[in-house]
Structure 1
């Protein structure tokens, strides 16, 4: 009898604690969104001026496009005017048109709209004609965080220029699964400490420019081979491992003042025992764990609600309602604003959702709007927008990141750097044919001959050479492009004559090394991406004009692991750089 009584009391205590947590008024001065007392005054005035319908509308951010027709634009205007939505996420792809639309949409809204974007590697992720910053995987190879912090600042400046207040970055997923189809290069790596460090630096840089950062995809999307855009991925780790490897970066960013956390669509049995409840819709995960155990007091935002990880399970509007009940503050990419609003309003009127719960979310949103300057919105000017987005400063920073990240993972017999420039040296391109810049820069140091080998039977073309430099060039078009070398390239590498000093310069993800037989290769240089800049930098490292400083950000296989770092020294040879990095003004 005593055991049953204890169980009943324990259950009542758990329920009452959860209820108290949900209904306790949030001290807004304790949120990472707090600025000053003037902010709180503005928030209260605005909140009190809103009807219930308008308050609920603030929870919704919908997708807006700059490359669609007038019907789409009219639909957005209707949502702003009739449903009083709180913000927009711009998707693609015209910068000047986006500025024009932003001005039009803002002029229509009673409360200025929060404008968001997915800009993990800058606004190039969504806008045509904008140069990209390096992937997170590349920045994960840096030996310190300073350049990541600077990238956060520059992306913040880009956002300011475009009237964007909320960049849904950084991704702090710990990519421990090389077969992950959706994270991969978007991760800073496979080590939680390194991911937390780099993510915190980016967050601090971006938030210093008054652009909200959002740590994603909580509680961690790195240990799965499934894509939440298409299904509900399983994260099978127990709670101890989940917290040690995947939650750890989020905890670090929360402690460092991140202003928002984006919740992923995941099946996480360690935190939510019901497999039919995705993390985005889980009160256990959001209210009890994220807001409770982790004590996060900033904005909780859903991942896009049109993704099949939730959209296949619940209808538009219904999913929005469930996400709000679970504890989310912002409902992103809503497909059913009107229905979702009606469901939330009905639940408030019935007393199923308290007005305090609504006030918590809406006031956090209003605090964020004040923080980013929306209490005094100024129309945007499109003049010289591309010059501003593609600044010399951005180009120089990108070059420096690639240079500092370049990693040597193998250096048998000190083959790197090549000291004897009188030796006979062959360059063999693999995969794509965009090797011209790389070859031109190799030739700045020695008479490097281009040797094309189409199959293993032609390997005898290397007979008369002392050195062979392979360049493996894979697509850098998007972050999701395959990193695996072809069977022909693998066979050529494996067939390299043992009497040759051989070097592989890899222009793709370090996961490209995963299934290579490198037994015949003396030196390996990982460049992470296939860009004009990396093709200028790699030859300088191969010939010793600059040192190699990067460290591997991921474990690739049993022999190539996180932290692998072989530093090479520079020898007295001429190097190259972007003008801004050496204090020279670029002439047009």
Structure 2
């Protein structure tokens, strides 16, 4: 029989960093042994815990991340009395956290699939799930069910399937179903919906001022859609939604009115509620007393407490304040999830080998489906004639070296002055909106001037939300959006050109 404290400990999923000091690894080992926590959430490194894996200025050896993670999972599992539930936040596959592993398209890209989107998104979820399972992971904190209605959203953007609530509902559920098919846990997030916010909850508290009716027709719709179809996990975000808690600006993640009364009561959710990272500034700054935030999150109705910086004090405080009955109920949910995901049958794992050929084939099929002309139209014959007559120009922006795309175009290009038409290829440096997605002012100015002085075709490799900085789309003869800079997407663009 486990004690009350041991049962509470099963709710905790603190962060485990692959690239960390040996002292920190040993400290986490002690935490597993002494506090008997039930779960770990893996991140690449401390510098990047809240970010995705992209051009990080980190002074650390980042080689062999996958091998190190597998080794750490085996090491930590070996010292745990009850096998640990291993979690990760991998919205577009292991590659979001671990280099040299398969990367899948962003949600915004999958939202642009033109045919059989549900089927393909489920397939992507399935493949991602298999990759994670092979690496010893049981639960993926994905997909986002946020409806991205605010184009200036600093934190969702490319992570959402789009700005149409119905489409987001279907695709988020398809992604969830694919992972479930791979026998991986998945979870809809960030309840009650982080899409129409202008503050990054890693840094401050976003407040969503909408009526209940507005919320039900947009933010809440994908969650209700999932609940009605049996979704078993939902992550609650750190955002205040006064309409759901009597006008108060309490973060949803620690609001009993929002989680227990509304999500579980009114919306009928019977599954497991996961807290967003408890170290995020939106909540962490308000509770200086160690353990108080953990208690608030537990009392609000969260079952799995992620990224707590005060595990020991959190267990202590919950033990003092929660009833045996509450603790038993949550403990049972966690143990049921562990059984369902095969956690309790843990065997040491080896480093997985990925089928890169199959991955490339999937990426090719997806790219053919999402790469599209989103404005104007391409006159193939005209372009072909211009190319033959030596009147076609080409400019590439934001690439440090010649792109694969430019190599695949076998035209003889001439100087811009002698051209009638110019192909402008833009490789957007970042998929996040900070500093105009990393695009420099001088280049943006040049692109706008070109589009107004010549007949231009814009080829946009990157987040479509960055298009607004490239001038009026009508100034271009046509705009091709490739959504990503994957080689397969570059190849798909060449198929639209002569």
Provide TM-score, normalisation by structure 1: 0.77
Aligned partner of residue 87 in structure 2, secondary structure: strand
2:495 is aligned with 1:528: no
Contact 1:442 1:539 in 2 (8 A): yes
2:23 is aligned with 1:61: no
Aligned 1:145-224 pairs, distance under 5 A: 145-224=118-197
- What is the CA–CA distance in structure 2 between the aligned matches of 1:194 and 1:364, rounded to whole Å? 30
Q: 2:280 aligns with which of 285, 289, 307?
A: 307
Indicate the residue corresponding to 1:537 in structure 2. 492
Contact 1:185 1:480 in 2 (8 A): no
Aligned residue pair count: 473
Indicate the residue corresponding to 2:413 in structure 1. 449
Deviations 1:483-505 (A, max 9, x none): 37544344434434779542100
2:65 is aligned with 1:79: no
Structure 2: unaligned runs, 5 residues or longer: 46-64
- What is the CA–CA distance in structure 2 between the aligned matches of 1:191 and 1:181, rounded to whole Å? 19
2:370 is aligned with 1:405: yes
Indicate the residue corresponding to 1:579 in structure 2. none
Indicate the residue corresponding to 2:419 in structure 1. 465
Aligned partner of residue 262 in structure 1, secondary structure: strand
Indicate the residue corresponding to 2:464 in structure 1. 510
Indicate the residue corresponding to 2:394 in structure 1. 427
Distance verdict in 2 for CA 1:97–1:313, change over 3 Å: same
- What is the CA–CA distance in structure 1 between the aligned matches of 2:308 and 2:438, rounded to whole Å? 36
Shift of 1:436: 2.8
Indicate the residue corresponding to 2:315 in structure 1. 341
Q: 1:130 aligns with which of 101, 107, 122?
A: 101
* Bigger Rg, structure 1 or 2: 1
Distance verdict in 2 for CA 1:433–1:371, change over 3 Å: same
- What is the CA–CA distance in structure 1 between the aligned matches of 2:439 and 2:460, rounded to whole Å? 10
- What is the CA–CA distance in structure 1 between the aligned matches of 2:330 and 2:41, rounded to whole Å? 18
Shift of 1:87: 0.2
Indicate the residue corresponding to 1:361 in structure 2. 330
- What is the CA–CA distance in structure 2 between the aligned matches of 1:507 and 1:163, rounded to whole Å? 33
Shift of 1:111: 1.3
2:270 is aligned with 1:292: no
Distance verdict in 2 for CA 1:239–1:415, change over 3 Å: farther
Structure 1: unaligned runs, 5 residues or longer: 1-48, 348-352, 452-460, 544-588
- What is the CA–CA distance in structure 2 between the aligned matches of 1:479 and 1:57, rounded to whole Å? 38
- What is the CA–CA distance in structure 1 between the aligned matches of 2:412 and 2:473, rounded to whole Å? 22
Distance verdict in 2 for CA 1:413–1:132, change over 3 Å: closer
Contact 2:40 2:87 in 1 (8 A): yes
- What is the CA–CA distance in structure 1 between the aligned matches of 2:218 and 2:190, rounded to whole Å? 14
Indicate the residue corresponding to 1:261 in structure 2. 234
Distance verdict in 2 for CA 1:517–1:415, change over 3 Å: farther
- What is the CA–CA distance in structure 1 between the aligned matches of 2:81 and 2:349, rounded to whole Å? 18
Distance verdict in 2 for CA 1:435–1:177, change over 3 Å: farther
- What is the CA–CA distance in structure 2 between the aligned matches of 1:324 and 1:448, rounded to whole Å? 65
- What is the CA–CA distance in structure 2 between the aligned matches of 1:497 and 1:476, rounded to whole Å? 22
Indicate the residue corresponding to 2:72 in structure 1. 101
Contact 1:416 1:523 in 2 (8 A): no
Aligned 1:231-270 pairs, distance under 5 A: 231-270=204-243
- What is the CA–CA distance in structure 2 between the aligned matches of 1:391 and 1:406, rounded to whole Å? 21
- What is the CA–CA distance in structure 2 between the aligned matches of 1:416 and 1:71, rounded to whole Å? 65
Contact 2:431 2:437 in 1 (8 A): no
Contact 1:407 1:526 in 2 (8 A): yes
* Of 478-487 and 145-154, the range deviating more from structure 2: 478-487
- What is the CA–CA distance in structure 2 between the aligned matches of 1:108 and 1:501, rounded to whole Å? 66
Deviations 1:254-288 (A, max 9, x none): 22222210000011111123545211010110001
- What is the CA–CA distance in structure 1 between the aligned matches of 2:101 and 2:317, rounded to whole Å? 41
Provide TM-score, normalisation by structure 2: 0.90
Indicate the residue corresponding to 2:294 in structure 1. 320
Indicate the residue corresponding to 2:303 in structure 1. 329
Shift of 1:181: 0.8
Indicate the residue corresponding to 1:229 in structure 2. 202
Contact 1:472 1:507 in 2 (8 A): yes
- What is the CA–CA distance in structure 1 between the aligned matches of 2:165 and 2:382, rounded to whole Å? 32
Distance verdict in 2 for CA 1:296–1:505, change over 3 Å: same
